[in-house]
Structure 1
């Protein structure tokens, strides 16, 4: 992304930290079989999707248009298609999967728009489609507000323990990161 260098690096640090945390949760989560496996499977899907998004946002914030569009499209387009397919065919976790599909599609859109601009620099008239960018800004801005409101309702002490608050704080950071990346378009 082409904002101020300090902002790019702070965004990369925030989203990379969230991505690594999600990878850690994925590594330590129980296997998705046995009683109640649907909830554990959705949690593992969420951790995997959020790890990909966090680390992908960090990479995109730092590398920008130096990575070919085909790499970004493959990295985020395939999970977007998988989440859309799963949301259409599995009623459990449909909203959850649609959210991850929107996130992956937004990353694909930003990458393609960024690499399509001449020299990879942002110019308002040439980067992205303003109505689509605006719709994504509304979505992720609303998501960040919703995630922040949920975080405020967590019991005291759970943020430090990581039982409830830390995953919600991670989701809030990811929503803010996505909003910031869209805003720099």
Structure 2
């Protein structure tokens, strides 16, 4: 999983920054936003730790087993809302991707994931396609369409709780939530590329 030093540090920064923003989103006035933000914060910080350069930390295999257990539990916890609202399915896929990468770290000699064989494994390829599609779709949703949204208003179904001032204001801005999810999908995509 560990790439070149500077690329790893950029990935760590991207994921930790996304996780920190998700922690701030947990102050939202909207209960669903708070619950979703908690899972996304776990994901962001988990990805940041996984992306640390091997020269900084090289945890024993038991740590990766613990990682797999934590993200398997998170995936199960996120599966219930996904059954009721399919838009939450992305979080389940993300948690399962973390379980898969953790298992790859356990199986890899010296704790460095990468199959070292002939071609990309099927699961890695499927996850690469999924996250590449999510990045493209999220980026397209961020592209300006000509309509201006006033502060405190959001796109239909985004659940924005108020203007830019209070504890829930800027943390509930739908465009910032989309940027955060886009950043984490880009991070996941980069980590999967390093695996292949």
Matches within 5 A, 1:143-154: 143-153=134-144
Equivalenced residues, count = 169
The corresponding residue for 1:52 is 42
The corresponding residue for 1:182 is 192
The corresponding residue for 1:101 is 92
- The structure 2 residue matched to 1:74, chosen from 69, 75, 81, is 69
TM-score, L = length of structure 2: 0.77
Which has more radius of gyration? 2
- The reply to whether residue 110 of structure 1 matches residue 109 of structure 2 is no
The corresponding residue for 1:62 is 52
Q: Which runs of 5+ in 2 are unaligned?
A: 152-163, 165-169
What CA deviation, in whole Å up to 9, does each residue of 1:64-120 have, x standing for no partner? 6515222101221101012224433xx2xx223211111001001001101211111
Which structure has greater helix proportion? 1
Q: Is the 8 A contact 2:65 2:106 kept in 1?
A: no
- How has the CA–CA distance of structure 1 residues 12 and 86 changed in structure 2, closer, same or farther, with 3 Å as cutoff? same
Q: How far apart, in 1, do the equivalents of 2:101 and 2:75 lie?
A: 14
The corresponding residue for 1:6 is 6
**Which structure has the higher relative contact order (CA within 8 Å, separation 6+)?**
2
What CA deviation, in whole Å up to 9, does each residue of 1:132-166 have, x standing for no partner? 000000001100111111111374897xx642321
TM-score, L = length of structure 1: 0.81
- How has the CA–CA distance of structure 1 residues 87 and 123 changed in structure 2, closer, same or farther, with 3 Å as cutoff? closer
Q: How far apart, in 2, do the equivalents of 1:80 and 1:121 lie?
A: 24
* 1:42 shift after superposition: 2.5
Q: Which runs of 5+ in 1 are unaligned?
A: 31-39
Q: How far apart, in 2, do the equivalents of 1:168 and 1:183 lie?
A: 22
- The structure 1 residue matched to 2:112, chosen from 108, 121, 125, is 121
